[in-house]
Chains A and B, each alone.
Chain A
């Protein structure tokens, strides 16, 4: 069954604009993580937010977590062309397994 589901599936914005991606999940989690993938190869970890945290920042990234709604959002501020990539949320379940969503494909146009 699908755990993390991202919304939107694709997002196209202009450089300098903010990009917001959302993730919903179904079961209880230990934490939620966001990853970035370029060109369909290896993923790079961006940020981890624990189930008892509500918001976290890292550089131009801001992540929120609402466990009552079982949802998270990733905000990239002042986007750059280099931010163009696919972004995945991954939820770590109580059993320790990490389950990935289908991803949001972000395109930042210069």
Chain B
């Protein structure tokens, strides 16, 4: 079956513009995660969705970052008024449910803010 997909694969934008990144999780996976990875660094947790529960937004770095998920399907991560420090690869992952399950990662979106 299809894995986790993300779009776009690459995004170049100008400082101050808004960007929207999309993630399509594996069908049937109730848990969805967004991470940020700066060059040469580890993964930084951003936000987590589990079914219809309130999302865990504890990793969002500022109020410029927001994410939505429709039911147990597509999720979008929105970054408003982008800054150069937002340049990174944004990775999405899904898993069957919260806890003790492996996460399946998408290929990521490489965001470059000029």
Give complex CA distance A41, B39 in Å: 11
With a 10 A CB-CB cut-off, give which of A33, A40, A88, A92 has the most chain B CB atoms.
A40
Indicate if B65 sits at the interface (CB-CB under 8 A).
no
A-chain residues with CB within 8 Å of residue B56 when the two chains form the complex: 97
Q: Are A45 and B100 closer than 8 Å at their CB atoms?
A: no
Give complex CA distance A90, B98 in Å: 15
Interface residues of B in 47-88 (CB under 8 A from A): 48, 50, 56
Residue total for B at the interface (Cβ-Cβ under 8 A): 26
Residue total for A at the interface (Cβ-Cβ under 8 A): 24
B-chain residues with CB within 8 Å of residue A42 when the two chains form the complex: 4, 91, 105-108
Q: Are B105 and A98 closer than 8 Å at their CB atoms?
A: no
Q: Are B45 and A96 closer than 8 Å at their CB atoms?
A: no
A-chain residues with CB within 8 Å of residue B44 when the two chains form the complex: 100
- Cβ distance B88 to chain A, nearest Cβ, rounded Å: 10
Q: Which residues of B contact A (CB under 8 A)?
A: 4, 33, 35, 37, 39, 41-45, 48, 50, 56, 89, 91, 93, 98-100, 102-108
